[in-house]
């Protein structure tokens, strides 16, 4: 076995004022790479995502998903003492991440100008809804709202029945873009002028979703056509879709070029007539006659079991997949045989958690515990030089929460 590699972000300390998904996803990604993440929470309940539901042994599924490997410190940032402690944390930090309501960081004295003056070496990252300087900049923004505003819902679902994609893609992608930006600046600063303030970063959910809409926006600009959603298909290529099988499953089959179409028609369907039809020679023609091709594929799939269809598709070099539910994926052999599940600790006991997607040779992600509210407050304040007496006094003032659990 090769020697264990050091964590790529070992020695990097991240302080985060976060809630819900976008910033927590950013900082969880940094924690997965070995950064120390100190999550500052309101003593009165903390991150509201802790209480979305209680299905994970009394904890919320969203929260345990994006908060492993962090330390929770409770501070009342409305109090002078709480803000002073935050600044003492930032004195030792490399990165500040936040996704508070519009204007909240400025009110806390954490605007880019404030950070450049008081904490010039800290990379400050703010995830917001719509970015600064626009007519929507003042608005609160949640995942669904931004997906609707950016057009994502209009290209998801079915004609006349738009839908929100199931995962919170605006939150997740914005969090990952933020993490990427942080890593880029950490690398860049190694050879930069250390006397210059660290650059600030803003990432907006709206800008991220506009980027995710790149294909659809480009198509609409140059064709004048707003493509309609096609459920489990694609407006860009055909045939490509989901088809019921004889044994009650659903198979997804797709082609992305002319050679694949020829193999699908001749070797899978046994339909040389379709392969030779000039209407289907190119992708544009197949898209225009999608319904005809879907009918032929649907009829063929309805006569065969899923396993036979997938074996035949694999033999012909045709992309295929089984339509699965979340419960199906929990037992998916691709995850089980590659040992993608790990056990992580939480305040109410261990739970399974997926390894982060990057597989780095020789590096085993830490997969740290999900923190209880304020669990690390006393320990972190002790590192800052606060005595037990000081901590008791702060707790009496309400500047910090009750002893963590």
pLDDT at 191: 64
The DSSP result for 26-52, as a single string, is HHHHHHHTT-EEEEEE-TTT-SGGGGS
In the sheet that holds 13-17, the strands lie side by side as 70-74, 36-41, 13-17, 95-98, 123-128, 201-204
- In the block, residue with structure tokens 């990604």: 29
Indicate the helix (H) or strand (E) that contains 350: none
Task: Specify which residues 244 forms β-bridges with.
Answer: 250
The pLDDT assigned to 194 comes to: 67
Give pTM, 2 decimals: 0.93
3-state secondary structure at position 363: coil
Element (H, E) at 241: strand 240-244
* Contact call for residues 297 and 231 (beta carbons, < 8 A): no
In the chain, domain spans: 13-214+337-397, 240-322
Superfamily the domain 240-322 falls into: formyl-coa transferase, domain 3 (3.30.1540.10)
**Which of 29, 46, 208, 49 is CA-nearest to residue 127?**
208
Q: Going by C-beta distance under 8 Å and a sequence separation of 6 or more, which residues neighbour residue 131?
A: 137, 202, 204, 206, 207
Rounded Cα–Cα distance for residues 322 and 189 (Å):
46
Question: Of 359, 351, 302, nearest to 330 (Cα)?
Answer: 351
Quote the CA–CA distance of 20 and 47 in Å, as a whole number: 7
> pLDDT tens per residue, the chain (405 residues)?
445 678 999 999 999 999 999 999 999 999 999 999 999 999 999 999 999 999 999 999 999 999 999 999 999 999 999 999 999 999 999 999 999 998 999 999 999 999 999 999 999 999 999 999 999 999 989 999 999 999 999 999 999 999 999 999 999 999 999 999 999 999 987 766 667 888 899 999 999 999 999 999 999 999 999 999 999 999 999 999 999 999 999 999 999 999 999 999 999 999 999 999 999 999 999 999 999 999 999 999 999 999 999 999 999 999 999 999 999 999 999 999 999 999 999 999 999 999 999 999 999 999 999 999 999 999 999 999 999 999 999 999 999 998 765
pLDDT of residue 1: 42
The CATH classification of domain 13-214+337-397, taken from the options 3.40.50.10540, 1.10.40.50, 2.40.50.100, 2.130.10.10: 3.40.50.10540
| Nearest by Cα to 398 from 49, 37, 76 | 76
pLDDT at 2: 46
Q: Which pLDDT score is estimated for 3?
A: 53
């Amino acid at each position: 076995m090769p020697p264990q590699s050091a964590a790529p972000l070992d020695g990097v300390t991240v302080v985060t004022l976060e809630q819900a998904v976008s910033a927590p996803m950013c900082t969880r990604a940094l924690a997965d790479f070995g950064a120390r993440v100190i999550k500052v929470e309101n003593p009165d309940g903390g991150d509201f995502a802790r209480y979305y539901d209680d299905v994970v042994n009394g904890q919320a599924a969203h929260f345990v998903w994006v908060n492993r490997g962090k330390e929770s410190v409770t501070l009342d940032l409305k109090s002078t003492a709480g803000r002073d402690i935050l600044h003492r944390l930032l004195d030792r930090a490399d990165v500040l991440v936040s996704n508070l309501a519009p204007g909240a960081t400025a009110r806390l004295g954490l605007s880019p100008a404030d950070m450049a003056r008081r904490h010039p070496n800290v990379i400050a990252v703010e995830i917001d809804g719509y970015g600064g300087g626009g007519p929507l900049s003042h608005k609160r923004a949640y995942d669904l709202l931004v997906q609707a505003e950016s057009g994502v819902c209009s290209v998801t679902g079915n004609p006349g029945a738009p839908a929100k994609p199931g995962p919170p893609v605006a939150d997740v992608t914005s969090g990952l873009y933020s993490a990427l930006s942080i890593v880029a600046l950490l690398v860049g600063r190694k050879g930069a002028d250390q006397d210059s303030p660290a650059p600030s970063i803003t990432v907006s959910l709206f800008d991220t979703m506009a980027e995710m809409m790149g294909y659809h926006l480009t198509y609409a600009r140059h064709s004048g056509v707003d493509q309609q959603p096609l459920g489990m298909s694609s407006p860009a290529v055909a045939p490509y879709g989901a088809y019921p099988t004889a044994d009650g499953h659903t198979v997804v089959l797709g082609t992305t070029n002319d050679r694949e179409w020829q193999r699908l028609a001749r070797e899978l369907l046994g339909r040389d007539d379709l392969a030779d039809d000039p209407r289907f020679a190119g992708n544009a023609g197949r898209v225009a006659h999608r319904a005809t091709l879907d009918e032929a594929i649907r009829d063929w799939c309805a006569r065969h079991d899923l396993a036979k269809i997938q074996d035949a598709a694999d033999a012909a070099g045709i992309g295929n997949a089984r339509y699965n539910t979340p419960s199906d994926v929990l037992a998916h052999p691709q995850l089980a045989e590659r040992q993608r599940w790990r056990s992580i600790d939480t305040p109410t006991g261990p739970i399974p958690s997926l390894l982060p997607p990057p597989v780095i040779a020789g590096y085993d992600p830490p997969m740290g515990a999900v923190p209880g509210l304020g669990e690390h407050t006393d320990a972190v304040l002790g590192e800052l030089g606060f005595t037990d007496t000081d901590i008791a006094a702060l707790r009496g003032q309400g500047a910090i929460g009750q002893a963590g659990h």
